[in-house]
Structure 1
Amino acid sequence: MSESTPSTNKVPVLSKALGKWSAIAMMIGAVIGSGIFAKPAANAAASSSVTLIMLGWVAGGIITLVTAICMAELCLMMPKAGGTYVYIRQAYGRLPAFLSGWNESIFFQSTANSALAVFFTMTLG
């Protein structure tokens, strides 16, 4: 009979293999993503000033950058898997974190994906 090796109870660890260029590509896709297709026409229709349109894009970029820096700081303070759930749980407790996670899953993600589907359906005919 062959000897079997005893199993060890190791806790799985998430791999931290996201490189700089992968992270940059993900952020460009998330920030620019689909909004770049939907918003320029609406902005141009609402304002005849190219300067105001560009200022709006710059202001949105600054707000997004500040948000990303805050999230990066939270990630460095609490390096655990779970994203915003972990941060809200630490600040407010388990129930608000649980509700926030379900809110994001049910309302935010589905609404964003539905809006994209409607936009591309209207655009492509």
Structure 2
Amino acid sequence: MPIEERQPLIDRFSAITGGAALILNPKAGGAGLNITAANHVIHYNPEWNPALEDQASARAHRRGQTKPVTVHHLLIADTVEDVVAERLSRKRELSQAAVIGVEGRNDEYGDIVAALSRSPSKK
């Protein structure tokens, strides 16, 4: 959707006083929108990049939000979605450790070394 069409759509959504749903993919939801009329965010398709998912969730947590916001993740058990969800969780942990710094566990070093060995700068 072109940028100039987004804000009127958000304004219409925000003006609804009853129940309403606004469906966006995580990339659109994470691209500069403030959706403070929303009080539930439902992720129904996991993204491989946790930052995209987090940005999409954050659009409902912006300045001007007056309601508590609940974030839901819908996953189908025993499918690839379980694997994606586990990887997202692991990526968030690694990201947090890289930004804040923690004392690593031995089982974490293998993941970090394997990721660094795949770096394009190593080729």
For this structure pair, what is the TM-score category when the shorter chain's length is used for normalisation? under 0.3
Larger RCO of the pair (alpha carbons < 8 Å, separation 6+) = 2
**Over alpha carbons, which structure has the higher Rg?**
1
* TM-score for the superposition, normalised by structure 2: 0.25
> Greater helix percent: which structure?
1
* TM-score for the superposition, normalised by structure 1: 0.25
